[in-house]
Each structure stands twice: as C-alpha cells, then as structure tokens.
Amino acid sequence: VSSTLSIGEFSKLTHLSVKALRHYHEIGLLVPADVDTGSRYRRYDPAQARDAQLIRRLRALDMPIEMVRTVVNATDGEQRSATIAAHLRAMEDELERTRDVVASLRALIEQPLLDIEVERRSLPDVTALVISANVRHDHLERWGGAAFEELGAAVVASRADVAGPGGGVFPTALFEEDRGRVTAYVPVSAVQDTIPRDFARVALADIAGGEVLVATHAGPYTDLDRTYAALGAAANEMGIAADGPIRELYIVGPDVTDDPLRYRTEVCWPVVES
C-alpha cells in the first residue's frame, strides 16, 4: 500500500529537519502533497524526495533560498544548469578571496610594521575613460578587475592614447558604509573614434586633480588597508585631514605582472590644512 508520509518520516528520508521542512512549506519552496484541513498535519509524497535532495544540496552550498527556488522551479535544464553554474562561480571567487585573506593575515602577523614614505604631490586634472558603479568594499577587487579589462578594450576600440596609469576614485562612504559609488578610470590624451556602443558602461569624463599626500603600496590589494593606516596616521600627525574621495593609482598591476607581490599602487590622500 503506497501512501504519503508524515513530516517526521519524510524528514528521515530526506535528511531535512522538520523545522526546515515547515519553513520550506511556509515560503512555498517545497509544499506538502497534502495538508489535513482539520489537524493541519502535512503529508508528503515519496516522489517529493527528489526536490528535497536538490534543495538540500543547494542549501549545503549556501545558495540563497530565492536562487534555490529558481533552480527547483526551472522547467528548462539549461536554465537550471546556468543558475547552478553561476553559484559555483561565485563560490570559487569567494574561495580565491579567502586565500588572499589568509595570505594577508600571515603577512600581518609575520611583519606587523609597515614603513612607508609619504610624499606631497599635486595631481593634475585628467580626461579619462571611466566606469562607475555602486560597489561593496569586499567586491572591489573583482569589480575593478572586470572594469579595467573593459576599459582596456574600450581604449583599443576607440583608438585612444593612454596618458598615464589607471586609477580608482573612492568616496568615503565606501569605507564608512562599506559601499559607495566607485569610479575606475584610464586617462587618455586623445580619443580618435567615439566609444563603440558595446561598451555601454564606459564614458568619457573629467577626473579632478588636487593636492594629495601619496604613499606607495607594495603588494597585493588585500593588504591595502595597511598602507591606508600608515598614510592616514602620517597625515594625522601632520595635522592634515582627508578631504573628499581617496584616489588609487595602479602603477604596477595585474596587467603588468601575475605576481601580486610586485604590484605597486599609489594611495593618494586628499589634503586640507587644519
């Protein structure tokens, strides 16, 4: 006599907790085959175990519930695979970031002091190809990588003359609120052609210069906070407070070398006498 299963029995079949099953019912992700109108007892069909198995695996990979719903409801195998693949890619990105942080933690412990040289400089106004977006601090590196690749392609496509190292503009909100409107740019002295439409995110814009304190950060971007701290402390000691967005200039970056230890980044602290 084949029949439905109580929530406890279904839990044993699927290894999903009773609490989780009730939750999935409540949000409509995995609805019991039948619910008794009087007692409200849930009844599951053994065939629902397949969906449960899928859900359990996706959740074990920390896929957000709404994304799980997309996968489970996918009528089309292509769409299902694409959603899963997207999540796996995000996981790999996360893993890479984790590796970077582990290395950065080791570096901090082994060599807690960083000595930097601070220099005062006047940044010129520049015209540049730019990409701007609202970015979270922990997504900065990945976002920047994609942005500069696109900018590089746009430079070629518009036959522009590059007039200096690429840079980033970071409003204080990026640090204070962990997200903000960030701009990546490549200075150009002349743009022969208009920017092709394929580069929808790329624009031509002016980047204002100004007085800054500069320190050169040596090494991976994950360690940038250490140069920020040293530079900020130095500025503070000089009685200078940062005014406006912080600038980074990518003197040696991934476009030049594959070894992050060789990266060189100039961190520019906008200057105001106090």
Widest Cα–Cα separation across the chain: 85
Concatenated DSSP letters for 226-265? HHHHHHHHHHHHTTB---S-EEEEEEE-TTT-S-GGG-EE
198 is an interface residue for DNA by CB under 7 A: no
| 30 secondary structure, DSSP code | S
Among DNA, its own copies, none, residue 38 binds (CB under 5-8 Å by kind): DNA
78 is an interface residue for its own copies by CB under 8 A: no
Among DNA, its own copies, none, residue 39 binds (CB under 5-8 Å by kind): DNA
Q: Which of 126, 182, 242, 271 binds its own copies (CB under 8 A)?
A: 242
Give the containing element (helix H, strand E) for 212.
strand 210-218
Nearest to 112 by CA among 3, 238, 226: 226
- Minimum distance between the CB of residue 162 and its own copies, rounded to whole angstroms? 29
- Minimum distance between the CB of residue 11 and its own copies, rounded to whole angstroms? 5
CA distance 69 to 106: 40
Q: Which of 23, 43, 121, 137 binds its own copies (CB under 8 A)?
A: 137
State the burial class of residue 203 (Cβ atoms within 10 Å of its Cβ: 0-12, 13-18, 19+): middle
- Minimum distance between the CB of residue 30 and DNA, rounded to whole angstroms? 10
172 is an interface residue for its own copies by CB under 8 A: yes
Q: Which of 2, 39, 75, 111 binds DNA (CB under 7 A)?
A: 39
Site residues (vs DNA, CB under 7 A): 6-9, 17-20, 22-24, 36, 38-42, 59, 64-66, 172, 176-179, 274
